Amino acid sequence: MIRPVSYEEAAALLPDFMRPGLKTNLADFTALKRDELRILERENGLFLLRRRESWWLLNFLMTGGPVPALPGRVVTELVSGPRESEAALTGLFEEAGFRTVLTRVRLTRPPSAPPADAPAPPVSPAGPEELEEVMALLRACFEPLTGCLPGREALMEDLTGGRVLAVREAEGIAGLLRYSAAGRRAEIRQLAVRRERRCRGLAGALTASFLARNAAARCAVWTGSDNGAALAVYRKKGFIEDGYRSSVMMKG
């Protein structure tokens, strides 16, 4: 039975499901702290549903099939490494009614100074007072169902912590880059540029600013496998595809 669960209760259950052959898409359990959670325990795994506007995000720890029946619209992501194949796992989710709606690849860049760039638009951190404008631009550039958009509380923390970089013009924020950083690792979460301001060097300027702020870190970014424009920007800045890929799947 699916039931409500607190973050603390869910965290206490995790050790019971750490078994050989475990498959999971839960990289950072602390990211669940702010979410309304539902849980489903099965012999083959633990399934966590995180409430979004009109759908659920699914995280799982499982050692095999089947994937249980889940209510409403549900989105999940299956990640595989260079020597792995997600085909078997994808098949289990397809049997449960999921379909692939997006494929992504990961690119990484080792710690190093950012490449020299031609003069570019100035970049500076966005502030908490710009929350609504930042949220509006993210929603204009990313599909909420598959774009992994932050909640208002998480975005406010990033704005307060200086982890949202922006290019401003007379009309307001023309482009932004949101990222996370922990230890010697940093990851671009979203890079967004207003449609009418694209192909003007803003994406490159934002990426260069991110790299300058994280020169001592191994940097990573996920992007759509067919997003040629984004791939070109990242490759120009020294990112290379590292063999990790994912399938975003949805049911309902």
The pTM of this model reads 0.89
Give pLDDT, residue 87.
Answer: 76
What number of other Cβ atoms are within 10 A of residue 118's Cβ?
7
Q: Mention every residue, 6+ apart, whose C-beta is less than 8 A from residue 6.
A: 37
59 is a domain residue: yes
Strand-pair category, 56-62 with 74-80: parallel
Residues 146 and 206 in one domain: yes
Q: Mention every residue, 6+ apart, whose C-beta is less than 8 A from residue 202.
A: 121, 167, 174, 175, 193
CATH of the domain at 202: 3.40.630.30
CA–CA separation, 29 vs 221, rounded Å?
20
Q: Which one of 48, 74, 104 terminates a domain?
A: 104
Residues 161 and 85 in one domain: no
196 is a domain residue: yes
252 is a domain residue: no
Residues 150 and 93 in one domain: no
**C-alpha closest to that of 151 among 28, 230, 57, 25:** 57
Residues 172 and 204 in one domain: yes
Domain span including residue 180? 109-247
Give pLDDT, residue 119.
Answer: 65
All residue ranges of the chain with pLDDT < 70 are: 116-119
Q: Mention every residue, 6+ apart, whose C-beta is less than 8 A from residue 23.
A: 60, 61, 62, 63, 89
Structural domains in the chain (count): 2
Residues 145 and 91 in one domain: no
Q: Which one of 104, 134, 152 terminates a domain?
A: 104
Give pLDDT, residue 218.
Answer: 97
Residues 49 and 79 in one domain: yes
Residues 146 and 128 in one domain: yes
Give pLDDT, residue 164.
Answer: 98
31 is a domain residue: yes
Q: Which one of 104, 124, 148 terminates a domain?
A: 104
Give pLDDT, residue 118.
Answer: 61
Strand-pair category, 99-109 with 45-51: unpaired
Residues 77 and 168 in one domain: no
150 is a domain residue: yes
Residues 143 and 163 in one domain: yes
